[in-house]
Amino acid sequence: MRRAFKLIFSALVLVALIVAGFAAWYVFGDRAPGKPKLTACGALVSGGPTSPNGTWDIAPGRQVYAGYRIKELFGDAVLKHVVVGRTPAVSGHISIANGQITTAVVIADVTKLQSDRAARDTYILDNGLDSSKYPTARFTLSQPIVLQAGTGKGQPLHADATGMLLIHGVSRPVTIPFRACWNGPTIDVVGTSPITLSDYKIQAPHTVIANVDNHGSLEFDLEFVPRTN
């Protein structure tokens, strides 16, 4: 009887160690990528239009993305793990005239969102974002953005974009701070903005491993090129 108890106790200890080891790996095993930064401003590149006026389209590429940054909570929120998911499938355009950004549309394919865990991505897409029903998120500018006086090539722009943000079939007014730079052949735009999942009728995922915070942020790093037709 005593030997059986020792075997059971040893087995429970082993299971606890395995679970603890898995939790430690899951929480601390990966580091989230940094927040988007405007790194190219000031590095003038030859070519491109002589003025930023006109229509500019998002150029797909490895560095272009839109996504989220949010916390996973473990052990009744004792442990917290920052999670970042990004989709490179982003399209859209901006139009500039008379010192103003007059139109802006950014569309992200949320079915392409990826983090550092495939299982997490599947759960979020199926149970959080309902991506089969709502495959895209969209921002549409609702009022012009006045460019700062004297903003020219190679000079950073700090401004706010006010418009409607559509996620999970819910559209809400938002004001998103961003930084931008016209470098000649491209206009680079980065930004981050807080978001509350329940505002968009998204139920924060809850699993046996972790719970997801209801509050996070949207992030984007976009590159625009002149429209050619």
Q: What is the CATH number of the domain that holds 177?
A: 2.40.128.110
Task: Please list the residues that pair with 31 across neighbouring strands.
Answer: none
What is the CB neighbour count within 10 angstroms for residue 27?
16
Between CA 163 and CA 152 the distance in angstroms is 25
Are 96 and 203 in a shared domain? yes
Are 14 and 117 in a shared domain? no
Are 26 and 40 in a shared domain? no
Between CA 165 and CA 160 the distance in angstroms is 14
Tally of domains within the chain:
2
The domain in which residue 19 lies consists of 1-30
Distances from the Cα of 88 to the Cα of 7, 67, 142, 145, 214, angstroms = 52, 9, 24, 25, 24
Residues listed for the chain = 229
Between CA 119 and CA 71 the distance in angstroms is 16
Per-residue pLDDT of the chain (229 residues; tens, 9 = 90+): 555 544 554 444 333 333 333 343 344 445 678 899 887 676 666 778 888 999 999 998 768 999 999 988 765 555 778 999 999 999 999 999 988 999 999 999 999 999 988 888 888 888 889 999 999 999 999 999 998 776 788 888 899 999 999 999 999 999 999 999 998 899 999 999 999 999 999 988 776 667 888 999 999 999 999 998 7
The answer to whether 114 and 86 have CB atoms below 8 angstroms apart is: yes
Residue 199 tokens, joined: 């505002």
Between CA 211 and CA 127 the distance in angstroms is 13
